[in-house]
């Protein structure tokens, strides 16, 4: 079946991370671990921790960064999609709080998505599809998490991984073929006891690793095939920042140079739904992005996984 690909314009990107750091040395004081052990197995050096700061507050700061970058007219924003597993409360949605804190008093469709670490890619596809209806002028898509509040700091296998932060993107509908976006998102419910959050994060690391490598490869190849592109046509792959060894395994098995993957997990750790948009924002900061193609790929609890190709 031939799909109608949405055409979207990426207007801007932004990020926010709290200033408080959790270092590997800090974790050495809490559990039996070491900087060398953590770096060797994950590639993570530090993570950021929100102190007296809500997920919505971080999300607003990331959104404001994206808005200020291009001096965007916020009256155009009439859709907010927030990806998070650590929202401020069960209801109203964190997106509603973001709308209020941004001072958007006009009518805005605002809601949250929970697809764990794949949440931002899910959110982008949902927002892109809604923009194609012609009913909306601009979407603000955000991934934000305060994961440190649900980390078990007695579990050395998980407490070393997670940090807090938020990333945002503003997108508008487009009409040019060059602005076609391609998405692939999926889930497998039979693996949902491998990575769960009831009150604290619990994870079977080996099973997650095996799933993640396979899922990332599948998602990369699927979205490339759908777009009729090769890896060589992509300027940068922006993966979910979970574990450097997972990305190295994907790089090796797919014969993709590691230089093609943008990594920042050494500083931020795994920020779940925030990791991809934070990395996109840093890509904007460090590169001339005009006419560049980026491939996003993520995986998360559920299990969920997905990918996207965007024209910048």
pLDDT-based confidence at 148, cuts 50/70/90? Answer: very high
Cis upstream peptide for 278 (omega within 30°): no
Tokens encoding 152: 């078990």
pLDDT-based confidence at 247, cuts 50/70/90? Answer: very high
> What are the strands, taking DSSP E only, across the chain?
8-16, 20-23, 46-49, 77-83, 109-113, 138-146, 164-173, 182-187, 195-197, 201-203, 236-239, 293-300, 304-311
**Dist CA 206 CA 55 (whole Å):** 29
**Dist CA 168 CA 12 (whole Å):** 8
Reduced DSSP (H G I as helix, E B as strand, rest coil) percent helix, strand, coil of the chain, to 5: 40, 25, 35
Distances, alpha carbon 306 to alpha carbons 52, 123, 236, 251, 270, in Å? 32, 11, 16, 17, 17
Mean pLDDT of 246-255: 97
Q: Is the pLDDT of residue 270 over 60?
A: yes
| Longest CA pairwise span in the chain (Å) | 56
Catalytically annotated residues = 117, 240, 270
Q: Could you read off the pLDDT of 112-126 as tens digits, one per residue?
A: 999 999 999 999 999
Residue in 172, 171, 161, 181 with CA at minimum distance from that of residue 245: 161
Q: Is the pLDDT of residue 258 over 70?
A: yes
CB 183 within 8 A of CB 124: yes
Distances, alpha carbon 76 to alpha carbons 68, 73, 171, in Å? 14, 6, 11
Domains with residue ranges and CATH for the chain: 1-312 (3.40.47.10)
Q: What is the pLDDT of residue 50?
A: 98
pLDDT-based confidence at 110, cuts 50/70/90? Answer: very high
Give the mean pLDDT of the chain.
95
DSSP lists the bridge partners of residue 171 as: 10, 139
């Amino acid at each position: 079946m031939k799909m109608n690909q949405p055409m979207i314009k990426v207007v801007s990107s932004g990020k926010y991370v709290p200033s408080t750091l959790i270092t590997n040395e800090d974790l050495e004081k809490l559990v039996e671990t070491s900087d060398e052990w953590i770096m060797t197995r994950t590639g993570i050096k530090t993570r950021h921790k929100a102190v007296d700061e809500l997920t919505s507050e971080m999300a607003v700061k990331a959104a404001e960064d994206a808005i200020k970058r291009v001096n965007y007219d916020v009256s155009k924003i009439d859709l907010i999609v927030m990806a998070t597993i650590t929202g401020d409360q069960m209801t109203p949605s964190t997106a509603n709080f973001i709308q209020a804190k941004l001072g958007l008093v006009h009518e805005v469709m605002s809601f949250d998505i929970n697809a764990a670490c794949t949440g931002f890619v899910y959110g982008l596809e949902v927002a892109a599809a809604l923009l194609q209806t012609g009913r909306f002028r601009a979407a603000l898509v955000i991934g934000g998490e305060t994961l440190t509040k649900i980390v078990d700091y007695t579990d050395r296998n998980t407490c070393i991984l997670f940090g807090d932060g938020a990333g945002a993107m503003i997108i508008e509908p487009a009409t040019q073929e060059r602005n076609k976006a391609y998405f692939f998102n999926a889930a497998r419910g039979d693996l949902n006891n491998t990575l769960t959050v009831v009150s604290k994060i619990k994870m079977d690391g080996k099973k997650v690793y095996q799933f993640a490598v396979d899922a990332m490869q599948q998602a990369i190849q699927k979205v490339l095939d759908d777009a009729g592109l090769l890896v060589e046509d992509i300027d940068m792959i922006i993966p979910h920042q979970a574990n450097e060894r997972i990305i190295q395994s994907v790089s090796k098995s797919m014969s993709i140079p590691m230089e093609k993957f943008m990594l920042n997990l050494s500083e931020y750790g795994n920020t779940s739904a925030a990791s991809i948009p934070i990395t996109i924002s840093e890509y904007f900061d460090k590169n001339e992005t005009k006419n560049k193609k980026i491939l996003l790929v993520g995986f998360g609890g559920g299990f969920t996984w997905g990918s996207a190709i965007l024209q910048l």
